[in-house]
Amino acid sequence: MDQIKILVVDDESRMRKLVSDFLIKKNYAVIEAADGQEAVDIFFDTKDISLIILDVMMPRMDGWQVVREIRNYSKVPIIMLTAKAEERDELQGFNLGVDEYISKPFSPKILVARVDAILRRSNALDTENRIELGGIILDESAHSVKIDGNEIELSFKEFELLAYFMKNQGIALSREKILNNVWNYDYFGDARTIDTHVKKLRAKMGEKGECIKTIWGMGYKFEA
């Protein structure tokens, strides 16, 4: 079986080596890039990269611009690394389509665990079923969502969130439970992360966004 390819992008060679060494131990194939422009060139030349680990502050092209360039053509999962821990930076990353956001310094083992979780969800989909509720068809094997016959474009995390809601139709879900199940690890952020994703998901779903009900003071419930 071919190794899964991961692109590691950071202008600090020591950081690239640290991340790469841990990924290689887990039998991932690692490709390194030292700046944003190199990362974009490698991504479009290689084609079969399964995940990107991306620093924000880099020469030639920063991480935000790299995400913009790639998201025009691909939904490949992206984990953003940054020395900044400000909320607005985290929200900017999610708004651009970043799937995970990790502030430096971080535990390489935790990073690898998050990589494992994302790739498990994005690649091990052949045993999942289609879910059809109220004119919404979510197909995990094809990673697609159709509403009244029209396909809508969702980020990786928005797709996972909608899948979790639909699988738990009619059940009141606390923000803590959503974080634990959709993010699949002990997330060190807060509820605003969920609220931001729900807001964007509702907007993309149009009228069907009303299926995601807010339970004030608790969380959300999906009712088709």
Residue 182 confidence (pLDDT): 86
pLDDT band of residue 67 (cuts 50, 70, 90) is very high
Which of residues 108, 123, 138 is at a domain's end? 123
Q: Are the beta carbons of 49 and 8 closer than 8 angstroms?
A: no
- Residue 119 predicted with pLDDT over 90: no
The count of structural domains within the chain is 2
User: Between residues 137 and 97, which one has the greater pLDDT?
Assistant: 137
Contacts of 118 (CB under 8 A, 6+ apart): 51, 77, 79, 99, 100, 156
Q: What is the pLDDT of residues 185-221, one digit of tens each?
A: 555 556 678 899 999 999 999 999 999 999 998 999 9
Residue 96 structure tokens:
């651009």
Q: Are residues 14 and 116 in the same domain?
A: yes
Asked whether residue 208 falls in the same domain as residue 148, the answer is yes
Q: In CATH, what number is assigned to the domain containing residue 196? A: 1.10.10.10
Supply the range of the domain harboring residue 102.
5-123
**Whole-prediction pTM value?**
0.56
C-alpha to C-alpha distance for 197 and 195, rounded to whole angstroms = 5
Q: Which of residues 74, 106, 123 is at a domain's end?
A: 123
Cα separation of 133 and 82, whole Å?
39
Cα 220 to Cα 165: distance, rounded to the nearest angstrom = 8
Residues 16 and 71 in one domain: yes
Same domain, 13 and 98: yes
**Does 121 have pLDDT greater than 80?**
no
Residue 136 — pLDDT band, cuts 50, 70, 90?
A: very high
